[in-house]
Chains A and B, each alone.
Chain A
Amino acid sequence: MTLELASRSPLPEFDGSDRGGPEQPLLIVENFKKHFPIHSGVLNRAVAAVKAVDDVSFNVRKGETLGVVGESGCGKSTLARLLMHLLPHDEGRLVLDGDEVGERHGASLQDLRRSIQMVFQDSASSLNPRLPILESVAFGPRVRGASKTEARALAGDLLERVGLKAERFGGRYPHELSGGQKQRVNIARALALRPRLLILDEAVSALDKSVEAQVLNLLAELKEQFNLTYIFISHDLHVVRFISDRVLVMYLGQIVEIGPADDIYDNPQHPYTMALLECRLSMDPDARVDNAPLAGDPPNPINPPSGCRFHTRCPYVEDICMAKAPPLENVLASKAEGHLAACHMTHPGSGHSRASAAAPAALARAATPILTIPEA
């Protein structure tokens, strides 16, 4: 199917841009940091900083879908904008298929922008209201030096691929489209530069369920057709499980757990992940959650709690948690490979009373299912 489509399309063949080979991660994010300074006073000095993304490291493998979940305000969207270089990051390295971005002999920002594209959450504000959608999609190729006819042909082709007839929809303005159609135009636009990685920042969250399902199916199809890798940011845990190969859980600007999707969902290790999963609605009326597993807002990211950032809301908090931040390390109790968690309970010899005992997940189920909420 892929071949057949490719031979029909005016798109160039995917050339040898897969430089590092299949084992080289497409994206290596190392120690990413973004602190937003808060200015105050007569001299407008920075008095504090919101630690939106604080020392985040992870890999994105070629061809996978990495789900990113977390409460609102945990830094998911900031992370997406940092990866896109729409915001400058304060610290950290970004390695794109073996080439460090911004290094002298590495990948340039232009390479990065060609390789990574993003679909924004708000389908309405992410399309220029004064441009017909065909022009919106053709803008990227046009900037990249395609002629007007080429760019339009490519845009038309992409619109067809996302299920919008170019001759009927191409001349329309965004306000003449439904939300689902707009989001499909956004996807087409993101694909126009033939990216390798697509960041979907809450891309289906604003759509109603039936349209959401259509778009998810479309995404799965396009992934195959265009050989794409996805970073899928969402607060909808069901959708993330459906679409993701691996899942990354964020809390207050840091990664608390990362691992294969099934492993994270069936065998969560970090108490925050457990609480988050408890929040899912169940199809079984007897299994309804009456009390919120986790209430209140996350602590202030300006002054995050000492030690483990989750300790203010964690039911298993001990002295070690307040004193020392747990590193993101392999979970030995988990059979799956590449399951990492930042919790003292999962690290043997960390000093936490539950650390070297049985698998914490089992303990969690035996203990109180509802997490207590201490005052912030």
Chain B
Amino acid sequence: MSDIPANLAIDAPPAQTRPAKSRGYWGGVWQRLRYDHVTLFCLALILLIVLSAIFAPWIAPFDPNKSSIIHRLKPIGVAPYWLGTDEQGRDMLSRILWGGRTSLAMGIVPVAIATLIGGAFGIVAGYYGGWVNMVIMRTMDVFFAFPSVLLAVAISGSLGGGTTNQLITLAIVLIPPLCRVAETATSQVRSMDFVDAARATGAPTPVILFKHVLINVVSPVLVYASTLVSAAILLASGLSFLGLGVSPPTPDWGLMLSTLRQSIYVQPLVCALPGVAILITSIAFNLVSDGLRQAMDVKA
């Protein structure tokens, strides 16, 4: 390097103890996340909830659908029904563990579908701009015109009840907001010079989208998607509560809340349990998304 004059090296910083090999972007995210105890705690909590939902058939002490007239509405803390029983004498602990399966599925699956579809539409709209953007975003605006609950009620009303239809309903409701976030992030990235520099190399558009645009859009979209998980759980619970979602014998937090409503003066604490489960899960998801947002910000 003797050909480069010495003055070129003056603004090189003093030697740093930094590994020459990059940890990569996700490595850096994990480094920042490691010291965020709240986020780690909530992640652990979510993991616990997910695992207990997955292993519900093995860890639930009773059959969640087995009713017993003589054990109706038992209080919390009395063996063998540690979390009491509902109005048909079914074990609440077992029902909450089993109910986590439907409720978590309602939270995660529609958000994942909506992130893929809405994100793809948003990136295309934001990158191409012009009439492509107009067609996609105005279509999304039509969905935005309705309040999300009303839209969900209308769609699931026309599709009919049942788990699959509820998943589809929720996905449709969640696509427009995710599309809009992806579109905004993409159009911001699109206006930056590095995209033009990539175009100037003659790279085909899909390569530019994947290598340069997606990597910059993924973090706002993922963070927003993680906040939507709790919203989706609440919305699914709402639909079940209204009788438009999961049909009765299936344990589901929203549905349980709905059926236990009549017994609220007899066993208020037991009736609140499905609500507590929803609350804890959605708060955990919200806090994790908050922590993710901070950890994914490169300039933090």
Hey, which bits of chain A sit against chain B, CB under 8 A? Answer: 1, 5, 81, 84, 86, 109-110, 113-114, 117-118, 120-122, 125-132, 136, 139-140, 143-144, 160-161, 163-165, 167-168, 170-173, 175, 178, 180-181, 186, 189-190, 193, 211, 214, 217-218, 221
Q: Are B203 and A139 in contact (CB under 8 A)?
A: yes
- List B contacts of A122 (CB < 8 A): 193
Nearest 3 CB-CB pairings of A with B: A171-B22, A126-B193, A163-B8
Given contacts A214-B7, A217-B7, contact A130 B215 (CB under 8 A): yes
Q: Are B200 and A86 in contact (CB under 8 A)?
A: yes
B142 at the interface (CB under 8 A from A): no
Q: Are A125 and B200 in contact (CB under 8 A)?
A: no
Shortest Cβ distance from A7 into chain B, in angstroms? 13
Q: Which of B12, B15, B194, B198 has the most CB of A within 10 A?
A: B194
Given contacts A129-B298, A163-B1, A214-B7, 16 further A-B contacts (CB under 8 A): A81-B196, A86-B199, A110-B202, A125-B194, A126-B192, A128-B198, A129-B216, A130-B216, A136-B194, A139-B203, A139-B212, A163-B12, A164-B12, A168-B15, A172-B22, A214-B11
- List A contacts of B200 (CB < 8 A): 84, 86, 113, 117-118
Task: Tell which of B4, B19, B192, B203 touches A163, judged by Cβ atoms closer than 8 Å.
Answer: B4
Given contacts A139-B203, A175-B299, contact A181 B11 (CB under 8 A): yes
B264 at the interface (CB under 8 A from A): no
Shortest Cβ distance from B287 into chain A, in angstroms? 25
What are 12 A-B residue pairs whose CB atoms fall within 8 Å in the complex?
Answer: A117-B200, A126-B192, A131-B211, A131-B212, A131-B215, A136-B194, A144-B201, A163-B12, A168-B20, A211-B11, A214-B7, A217-B5
Considering the chains assembled together, what is the distance between the CA atoms of A113 and B15 in angstroms? 37
B9 at the interface (CB under 8 A from A): yes
Q: Are A214 and B8 in contact (CB under 8 A)?
A: yes
Task: Tell which of B3, B7, B215 touches A128, judged by Cβ atoms closer than 8 Å.
Answer: B215
B25 at the interface (CB under 8 A from A): yes
Considering the chains assembled together, what is the distance between the CA atoms of A168 and B21 in angstroms? 9
| Total residues of chain B contacting the partner, CB 8 A | 36
Considering the chains assembled together, what is the distance between the CA atoms of A42 and B30 in angstroms? 51
- List A contacts of B3 (CB < 8 A): 1, 5, 221
B207 at the interface (CB under 8 A from A): yes
Shortest Cβ distance from A178 into chain B, in angstroms? 6
Considering the chains assembled together, what is the distance between the CA atoms of A136 and B193 in angstroms? 13
- List B contacts of A128 (CB < 8 A): 194, 198, 212, 215-216
- List B contacts of A160 (CB < 8 A): 1
Shortest Cβ distance from B234 into chain A, in angstroms? 33
Q: Are B20 and A120 in contact (CB under 8 A)?
A: no
Task: Tell which of B1, B25, B196, B211 touches A86, judged by Cβ atoms closer than 8 Å.
Answer: B196
Q: Are B197 and A189 in contact (CB under 8 A)?
A: yes
What is the 8 Å Cβ interface bit string for chain B, positions 207-220, against chain A (1 contact, 0 not)?
A: 10001100110000
Task: Tell which of A132, A136, A175, A217 touches B22, judged by Cβ atoms closer than 8 Å.
Answer: A132
- List B contacts of A218 (CB < 8 A): 4, 8
Considering the chains assembled together, what is the distance between the CA atoms of A172 and B28 in angstroms? 12
Q: Are A140 and B201 in contact (CB under 8 A)?
A: yes
Shortest Cβ distance from A157 into chain B, in angstroms? 11
Shortest Cβ distance from A368 into chain B, in angstroms? 42
Q: Which of A84, A131, A193, A217 has the most CB of B within 10 A?
A: A131
Q: Are B202 and A114 in contact (CB under 8 A)?
A: yes
Interface positions, chain B 1-41, Cβ under 8 Å from A, are 1, 3-5, 7-12, 15, 18-22, 25
Considering the chains assembled together, what is the distance between the CA atoms of A42 and B194 in angstroms? 35
Shortest Cβ distance from A160 into chain B, in angstroms? 6
- List A contacts of B10 (CB < 8 A): 214
Considering the chains assembled together, what is the distance between the CA atoms of A84 and B12 in angstroms? 32
Shortest Cβ distance from A249 into chain B, in angstroms? 25
Considering the chains assembled together, what is the distance between the CA atoms of A140 and B203 in angstroms? 8
Q: Are B194 and A127 in contact (CB under 8 A)?
A: yes
Shortest Cβ distance from A127 into chain B, in angstroms? 6
Given contacts A120-B193, A128-B215, A178-B11, contact A143 B22 (CB under 8 A): no
Q: Are A120 and B196 in contact (CB under 8 A)?
A: yes
Shortest Cβ distance from B105 into chain A, in angstroms? 32
Considering the chains assembled together, what is the distance between the CA atoms of A132 and B22 in angstroms? 8
In this complex, what residue of A is CB-closest to B212?
A: A128
Shortest Cβ distance from A94 into chain B, in angstroms? 15
Shortest Cβ distance from B226 into chain A, in angstroms? 19
- List A contacts of B18 (CB < 8 A): 168
Considering the chains assembled together, what is the distance between the CA atoms of A81 and B211 in angstroms? 22
In this complex, what residue of B is CB-closest to A171?
A: B22
Shortest Cβ distance from A191 into chain B, in angstroms? 12
What is the 8 Å Cβ interface bit string for chain B, positions 171-202, against chain A (1 contact, 0 not)?
A: 00000000000000000000011101111111
